[in-house]
């Protein structure tokens, strides 16, 4: 039996609310500290306690971060999903199971079985918290079976329980019990092992939501107005958590405000109020929240109010699968609200970009005087990703065309709030309280002076100017990331967290002899580079995590007619983070159809 090193997937089945999350994060962190390229996906239910949850840890020397095609090592702790999880395993898989589980056993002779009395071992430490400790026992067993370095394990425990000496000690003891049991009672009969890897660039793990929250601080956010919703709450709470450290003066007074709103409508209204008053306001929400905010989004577009909305997307429609991931708000964000609208959408694919767009969103919102969306998703936002560090903004805050001084104001021959002085579609504004050119902002039709108007030419010209304004933004937004070899006939256009599966998809395609180019879209409206990419390829696949091919629809509509027929959609979503093989096979099938 030859060893399989750093290339397998562990699936841990537990019940929600039993403390398994910290055990799983310790496992993930310890592997990370060994330099093993590893990713963790938390598949959790919409529930506080009791429903099944799975944690998938994938080790991959190739750096693949998608959940793999199959489970190699299954940890069984939850009786509720026991039979189903066991039945799904391919022959040759490994099962580590809690042999104290009443009425459950493992009777398959085509798999490697390691019974571990996890509950009894845990009770030895402290019967009162046996349920919690059970989880850390299986980490100890895994550590011994796979060869996880003890120093890395202890360091991971210390990170998880920052400074809480009792918790650290308890967990290390429990890990030891797991290791000890494995040593004395089990004989290794599987090929899986981990090996340290040299770390070329130091990295740390961080969730996309925390990265975006930090980015917002470095964008000088002044108001966070939010309403709790999975999976965006940790973005808002991330902003709040860093206020004492980053935004508070020596007297304990903050230079930003946080208001937990009564609903998403109010949160959006507050963000608009902040923008209207001259400040940087943001909210963080998910699809259902954006649905509720539609009316205000239209007002922000029409009255030209800078405002920032983060949508950490989840599975829709309706309440959908609230704790699963999807890229299905693309169309809603791009064309949010009734009437003709078009919005700037920033689409990070990495935690570094979550940080960067966290601050840039405000610059774009104020420069273009319009709502700007950050579109992340549950996978990117709530799972931990490797990061080399965040880069400080390379330019001062762009506050846009705001007239603050009287002499600047006096230099205008005519001042109109919606007068296109510079021909770029972006008018100048004055702020409430300044006394300069006061107007009554409104969501009704208005002329360039900001006065109510129903005149056909006023409405027509206003809508044309708004279109031009957003259209001109496209090449100032983040350009797509292109990975391209000249000879490729097929190009893949994708976005967001698909970044974490694309390399594996690419490799699967290459195994079949197909080499493809990649174009990761990072903003809407499309950068000119996207059209150029389509033009350079014979066939273009738009790959996305939804049913309808929303990005494909937008691209088709905006491309010149001669390019439209080149473009094809591969859209798929089942709630799971994108598994590479599913998408690769669909790409191959689509290309086959195109050929015929």
Partner 1 sequence: MSEKPARAIKLNVINEPKDSYTGGPSSLCPGCGHDQISSVIINAAWENGIEPHRIAKMSGIGCSSKTPAYYLGQSHGFNTVHGRMPSVTTGAYAINKDLLYLGVSGDGDSASIGIGQLIHAIRRNMDMVYVIENNGVYGLTKGQYSATADVGSKKKKGPANETQPIDLCALAINLGCTFVARSFSGSKKQLTSLLKAAMSHKGFALIDVISPCVTFNNNDESMRSYSYVKENEVTLHMADYIPHFNPVEEIEVPEGHFKDITLHDGSTIRLETISEEHDPGDAMAALTALHGAETGGKHVTGLLYFDATKPSLAEDLGLVDGALLDVPDEVLRPSQASLDALNAEFLA
Which residues bind to partner 1, rule: CB under 8 A? Answer: 202-204, 206, 214, 217-220, 222-223, 225, 245-247, 249, 252-259, 261-263, 265-281, 295-296, 299, 359, 387, 389-390, 392-393, 396-397, 399, 430-435, 438-444, 452
Whether residue 398 contacts residue 366, with contact meaning beta carbons closer than 8 Å, is answered with yes
Rounded to a whole number of angstroms, the minimum distance from the CB of residue 396 to partner 1 is: 7
- SS3 of residue 43 by DSSP: strand
Whether residue 311 contacts residue 344, with contact meaning beta carbons closer than 8 Å, is answered with no
Q: Is the dihedral of CA 534, 538, 544, 548 positive or negative?
A: positive
Whether residue 380 contacts residue 394, with contact meaning beta carbons closer than 8 Å, is answered with no
Nearer to partner 1 (CB atom), residue 243 or residue 479: 243
* Half-sphere exposure (Cβ direction) of 431: Cα atoms closer than 13 Å: 18
Nearer to partner 1 (CB atom), residue 128 or residue 253: 253
Ranges of beta strands (E only) in 61-111 are 73-76, 94-98
Q: Which two tokens stand for residue 577?
A: 């983070």
Nearer to partner 1 (CB atom), residue 245 or residue 595: 245
Nearer to partner 1 (CB atom), residue 97 or residue 205: 205
Nearer to partner 1 (CB atom), residue 143 or residue 292: 292
Residue 348, sorted as left (phi over 0), alpha (psi -120 to 50) or beta, turns out to be beta
Whether residue 336 contacts residue 298, with contact meaning beta carbons closer than 8 Å, is answered with yes
Rounded to a whole number of angstroms, the minimum distance from the CB of residue 67 to partner 1 is: 25
DSSP string, 291-322: HHHHHHHHHHHHHT--EEEEEEE-B-STT-BT
At a CB cut-off of 8 Å and minimum separation 6, what does 333 contact? 290, 311, 343, 345, 373, 375, 524
Nearer to partner 1 (CB atom), residue 417 or residue 520: 417
* Half-sphere exposure (Cβ direction) of 213: Cα atoms closer than 13 Å: 26
Nearer to partner 1 (CB atom), residue 249 or residue 487: 249
Q: Which two tokens stand for residue 243?
A: 């206020």
Nearer to partner 1 (CB atom), residue 396 or residue 513: 396
- SS3 of residue 10 by DSSP: strand
Nearer to partner 1 (CB atom), residue 219 or residue 480: 219
Length reported for the chain: 596
The set of long-range contacts for 470-473, using a CB threshold of 8 Å and a minimum separation of 24, is 470/342, 470/343, 470/344, 470/368, 470/370, 470/525, 471/342, 471/525, 472/424, 472/425, 473/344, 473/364, 473/368, 473/525
Rounded to a whole number of angstroms, the minimum distance from the CB of residue 346 to partner 1 is: 18
Q: Is the dihedral of CA 94, 98, 99, 101 positive or negative?
A: negative
Strand 73-76 and strand 344-346: pairing? unpaired
Rounded to a whole number of angstroms, the minimum distance from the CB of residue 147 to partner 1 is: 25
- SS3 of residue 111 by DSSP: coil
Rounded to a whole number of angstroms, the minimum distance from the CB of residue 590 to partner 1 is: 41
Rounded to a whole number of angstroms, the minimum distance from the CB of residue 275 to partner 1 is: 8
Nearer to partner 1 (CB atom), residue 175 or residue 223: 223
Rounded to a whole number of angstroms, the minimum distance from the CB of residue 206 to partner 1 is: 7
Whether residue 424 contacts residue 465, with contact meaning beta carbons closer than 8 Å, is answered with no
Rounded to a whole number of angstroms, the minimum distance from the CB of residue 586 to partner 1 is: 37
Whether residue 56 contacts residue 41, with contact meaning beta carbons closer than 8 Å, is answered with yes
Beta bridge partners of 207: 384
Rounded to a whole number of angstroms, the minimum distance from the CB of residue 175 to partner 1 is: 22
Beta bridge partners of 376: 312
Nearer to partner 1 (CB atom), residue 54 or residue 276: 276
* Angle subtended by helix axes 351-368 and 208-218, to nearest 10: 40
Nearer to partner 1 (CB atom), residue 249 or residue 511: 249
Ranges of beta strands (E only) in 135-275 are 192-193, 204-207, 223-226, 257-260
Rounded to a whole number of angstroms, the minimum distance from the CB of residue 387 to partner 1 is: 7
Whether residue 580 contacts residue 551, with contact meaning beta carbons closer than 8 Å, is answered with no
- SS3 of residue 589 by DSSP: helix
Rounded to a whole number of angstroms, the minimum distance from the CB of residue 296 to partner 1 is: 7
**How many C-beta neighbours within 10 Å does residue 500 have?**
23
Rounded to a whole number of angstroms, the minimum distance from the CB of residue 370 to partner 1 is: 16
Nearer to partner 1 (CB atom), residue 295 or residue 558: 295
Nearer to partner 1 (CB atom), residue 412 or residue 572: 412
Rounded to a whole number of angstroms, the minimum distance from the CB of residue 256 to partner 1 is: 7
Rounded to a whole number of angstroms, the minimum distance from the CB of residue 210 to partner 1 is: 10
């Amino acid at each position: 039996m030859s060893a399989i090193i750093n290339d397998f997937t562990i699936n841990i089945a537990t019940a929600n609310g039993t403390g398994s999350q910290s055990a799983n994060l310790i496992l993930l962190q310890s592997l990370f500290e060994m330099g093993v390229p590893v990713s963790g996906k938390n598949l959790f239910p919409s529930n506080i306690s009791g429903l099944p949850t799975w944690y998938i840890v994938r080790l991959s020397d190739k750096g693949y971060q998608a959940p793999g095609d199959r489970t190699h090592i299954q940890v069984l702790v939850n009786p509720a999903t026991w039979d189903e999880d066991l039945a799904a395993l391919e022959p040759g898989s490994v099962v580590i199971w809690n042999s104290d589980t009443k009425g459950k056993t493992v009777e398959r002779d085509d798999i490697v079985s390691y019974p571990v009395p996890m509950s009894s071992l845990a009770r030895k430490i402290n019967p009162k918290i046996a349920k919690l400790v059970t989880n850390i026992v299986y980490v100890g067993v895994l550590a011994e079976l796979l060869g996880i370095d003890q120093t890395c394990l202890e360091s991971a425990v210390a990170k998880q329980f920052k400074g809480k000496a009792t918790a650290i000690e308890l967990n290390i003891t429990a890990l030891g019990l797991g290791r000890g049991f494995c040593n004395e009672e089990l004989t290794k009969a599987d090929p899986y092992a981990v090996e340290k890897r040299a770390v070329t660039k130091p990295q740390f793990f961080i969730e996309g939501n925390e990265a975006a929250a930090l980015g917002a601080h470095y964008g000088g956010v002044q108001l966070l107005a939010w309403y709790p919703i999975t999976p965006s709450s940790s973005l808002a709470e991330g902003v709040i958590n860093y206020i004492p450290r980053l935004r508070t003066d020596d007297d304990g007074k903050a230079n930003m405000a946080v208001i937990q709103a009564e609903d998403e409508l109010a949160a959006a209204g507050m963000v608009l109020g902040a923008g209207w008053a001259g400040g940087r306001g943001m909210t963080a929400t998910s699809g259902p929240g954006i649905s509720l905010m539609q009316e205000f989004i239209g007002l922000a577009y029409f009255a030209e109010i800078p405002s920032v909305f983060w949508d950490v997307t989840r599975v829709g429609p309706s309440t959908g699968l609230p704790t699963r991931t999807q890229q299905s708000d693309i169309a809603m964000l791009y064309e949010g609200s009734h009437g003709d609208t078009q919005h700037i959408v920033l689409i990070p694919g990495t935690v570094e970009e979550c940080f960067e767009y966290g601050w840039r969103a405000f610059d774009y919102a104020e420069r273009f005087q319009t709502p700007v969306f950050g579109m992340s998703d549950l996978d990117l936002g709530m799972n931990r990703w490797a990061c080399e560090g965040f880069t400080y903004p390379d330019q001062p805050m762009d506050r846009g065309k705001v007239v603050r001084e009287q002499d600047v104001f006096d230099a205008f021959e005519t001042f109109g709030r919606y007068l296109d002085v510079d021909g770029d579609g972006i008018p100048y504004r004055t702020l409430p309280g300044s006394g300069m050119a006061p107007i009554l902002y409104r969501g009704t039709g208005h002329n360039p002076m900001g006065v109510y108007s129903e005149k056909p030419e006023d409405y027509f010209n206003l809508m044309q100017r708004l279109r031009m304004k957003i259209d001109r933004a496209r090449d100032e937004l983040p350009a797509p990331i292109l990975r391209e070899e000249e000879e490729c006939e097929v190009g893949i256009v994708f976005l967001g967290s698909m970044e974490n599966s694309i390399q594996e998809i690419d490799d699967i395609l290459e195994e079949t002899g197909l080499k493809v180019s990649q174009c990761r879209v990072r903003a809407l409206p499309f950068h000119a580079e996207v059209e150029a990419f389509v033009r350079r390829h014979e066939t273009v696949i738009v790959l996305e995590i939804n049913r309808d091919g929303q990005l494909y629809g937008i691209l088709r509509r905006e491309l010149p007619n001669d390019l439209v027929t080149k473009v094809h959609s591969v859209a798929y979503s089942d709630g799971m983070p994108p598994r590479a093989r599913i998408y690769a096979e669909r790409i191959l099938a689509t290309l086959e159809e195109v050929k015929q």
